[in-house]
Structure 1
Amino acid sequence: MLSAPVLLLFASSMRIVSGADWCYQSEVTCNHTCTGPEVWGVVSQHCSGKSQSPINIVTRRTLRNNSLTSFEFIGYQEAFHGRLINTGHSVQLDLPSGMRIKEGNLTGAYKAVQLHLHWGKDGGPGSEHTVDGEQSPMEMHIVHIKEEYDSIPQAGKDRTGVAVLGFFFQKSKSANKKFDPLLNALKYITQPTNRTILKGVSLEMLTLPKKNMTKYFRYDGSLTTPNCAEAVIWSLFENTVPLSSKQLAGFAQLQFSTGKQMVQTYRPLQPLNDRKVYYSRGHLAQLSSVLLITCVLVSSALSPSPSV
């Protein structure tokens, strides 16, 4: 017969293994045991895989890939009304049909499904991916799936079924007015499962100018929350989106399913293992422009002056 302490331990283990209440490390407390990132592997075996996300991108070890062309963004400039939800883990904006991405060395068109964000505390470090060890205050993911699929779980069964565009945020002195509609709507979704309709926004408003979206990092990875399916083609843009300290702090008014303040909503970094990280030819184009200007200046300096 099992003793009381053993039965308690067994019951706790069963609760963790159920995985119904996975959480971020910031939610884990002594009096509330939820399934934190270190043991997400018991929620889904995918979370213990060898191609997990997020990762640290070491820029000097990235490999140039001329096949990583600019993306074609379809419907990104069109205003829409979308459902904004407090999922209990993040804020998510459901995207209407019609938005697509092509090119960028993708095998075909991917349709946008939703976007969500990961952030820190009071504007502190909060991105999931890091670049040369530096963690940005926030990171936005626009999630796309292949056109033939109807949902993320369905696309997650395909090794290249999901394409995520990642955007890093940086703290700025002035507010980014384009984010005001989203930020103003947060007060309506402070509690988990709360939802509201976000009106008159476009993906173009919430991302970067198109000219700043040619330089990006690419690698194969996973979803960053359970079930952690290794089915994601990641494209992380080098240029950053500005938000003021006050705007970044505004996300802390949301609450987790546990009732705690929703902060530090990011998964710890995962090993790169034998994967490669590539960078787009936008980097090459920039380098070529610099070299061209240098060559012109040198040529002009060496050319003989015209005779009078």
Structure 2
Amino acid sequence: MQRHLIVQIFLPSFLKICTGADWCYQSQHTCATPCNGPEKWYHANKDCEGRAQSPINIVHRKTLPDERLTPFQFRKYQDSFRGLIKNNGHSVQVNVPHQPYVIGGDLETPYKVVQFHLHWGKNGGPGSEHTIDGEQYPMELHIVHMNEEYSKLEDALKDPIGVAVLGFFYEESLSANRKYDPVVRALQTIMTTGANTTLVSVSLEQLIPPQQNLTNYYRYKGSLTTPGCTESVIWTVFEKPIPLSRDQVEQLVNPTSCWPVV
């Protein structure tokens, strides 16, 4: 059982997309509408010049085992729900209408789920936001939680430890992960910015590895990975990846240039 506290944080590696908003990812140059790329995100929000920005490259040899980082307990993660899934022009986000939560993991109080979203690369190529020893995975899942004392995410973001995000990598597998079929089908219908649909009968438990495989993880204090870049996030990045077949990864990618990709 290994859980690691990250003791050195590197400058973030920024990712993604095409949008008409006032900020965008590095691939914006493929779109006609100009906007502020990662190197100018501070124009969108001054907090993006902070010194604890996410994502980071996690260098394993520079981490330390930490006995305070106990295994998480995932409550109500097994409950199925219907949630709105939306292409917001920067990512694909699913709002979670009920309140699963996590405890443990050196979190002082329970943190309840607000939403989850995905990040991926072009044509199944590298697309994770975090990297391990410089290795970038095809995709990354972020499950966003806020301290149970808050009812709004914007209020939780004002607290230095108000938000906890669980990050999971994806890896290519030989067989399809059928638990992801509802997500893959839904994404095929929301390929344009602003499009949304209902994700039916899914649970958070089915989207992540079994709990017994989630005892190894990395922990650091960081930020939101997009403007406002608020440095109020307790990050947990799990070592065990989520398997998806090559075909499933490819189905998640829209061939048009303005789908959220690296």
CA contact under 8 A between 1:254 and 1:262: conserved in structure 2? no
> Could you tell me how far 1:24 is from its partner in structure 2?
1.0
Q: Return closer, same or farther for 1:254/1:48 CA change in 2, 3 Å cut-off.
A: farther
For 1:1-308, list aligned pairs within 5 A: 20-29=21-30, 31-253=32-254, 260-264=258-262
Which of these two proteins has the greater Rg computed from alpha carbons?
1
Q: TM-score, normalised by structure 2?
A: 0.89
Taking the aligned partners of 1:66 and 1:261, their CA distance within structure 2 comes to 41
Instruction: Tell me how far 1:198 sits from its aligned partner.
Output: 0.8
Question: Where in structure 1 are there 5+ consecutive unaligned residues?
Answer: 1-18, 265-308
Q: Give the Å deviation of 1:30.
A: 7.4
Change (3 A) 1:250 1:27: farther
Do the aligned partners of 2:81 and 2:98 also contact (CA within 8 Å) in 1?
no
> As a proportion of its length, which structure holds more helix?
1
C-alpha contact (below 8 Å) 2:147/2:163 kept by paired residues: yes
2:100 touches 2:113 (CA, 8 Å); kept in 1?
A: yes
Alpha-carbon distance, 1:186 to partner: 1.1
Percent identical: 53
**What is the root-mean-square deviation in Å for CA atoms of aligned residues?**
1.5
- The CA deviation string for residues 114-137 of structure 1, in whole angstroms up to 9 with x for no partner, is 000110011110000000100000
Counterpart Cα distance in 2 of 1:260 and 1:237: 29
TM-aligned CA deviation for residue 193 of structure 1: 1.3
| 1:192/1:49 CA distance change after superposition, 3 Å | same
Q: Secondary structure at the match of 1:52?
A: coil
Bigger mean CA offset, 146-155 vs 235-244? 146-155
Tell me, yes or no, if the aligned pair for 2:57 and 2:134 is still in contact at 8 Å.
Answer: yes
Aligned length: 243
Equivalent pair of 2:31/2:258 in contact (CA under 8 Å):
no
Q: Secondary structure at the match of 1:249?
A: helix
The alignment partner of 1:185 has SS state of helix
User: Which has the larger share of strand?
Assistant: 2
- With normalisation by structure 1, the TM-score equals 0.76
